[in-house]
Structure 1
Amino acid sequence: MKYRVNRIDVKSDNMQEKLENFINKMDGDLISIIPNVKPAFLVIGGAAKIDYILVVEKLKVK
């Protein structure tokens, strides 16, 4: 079995659209989606921000 890890750079306003487009165009099977969560400090307190998403794909063996 072979796997591929893809990186998708996202922002909070386009995250869902980019992920949907990528998943619909995948050749293999979706194994996992891993967000990169970074702390962000705002005036109102702490928060979190997602910079990119890693998508693990299982490739089809020919």
Structure 2
Amino acid sequence: MKYNVHRLDVKADNMQDRLEKFINSLKGEVISIIPNVKPTFMGMGGTAKVDYLLIVEKL
């Protein structure tokens, strides 16, 4: 079995559309989607932001 790991850079406002288009363009089976969550600090306190997604594809 072979696997490919793809990195998809996303923002909060376009995440769903970009992920849907990317998944539909894959030829293999999606095994996992792993978000990279980065903590950020704003004026009101701390929060988290997703910078990119790792998508594991089974060929």
Deviations 1:28-50 (A, max 9, x none): 00000000000000111100001
Q: How far, CA to CA, are the matches of 2:44 and 2:24 in structure 1?
A: 38
Between the two proteins, the alignment pairs up a number of residues equal to: 59
TM-score (norm. length: structure 1): 0.93
**1:31 aligned to 2:53?**
no
Identity %: 66
Gaps of 5+ in 2: none
- TM-score, normalization: structure 2? 0.98
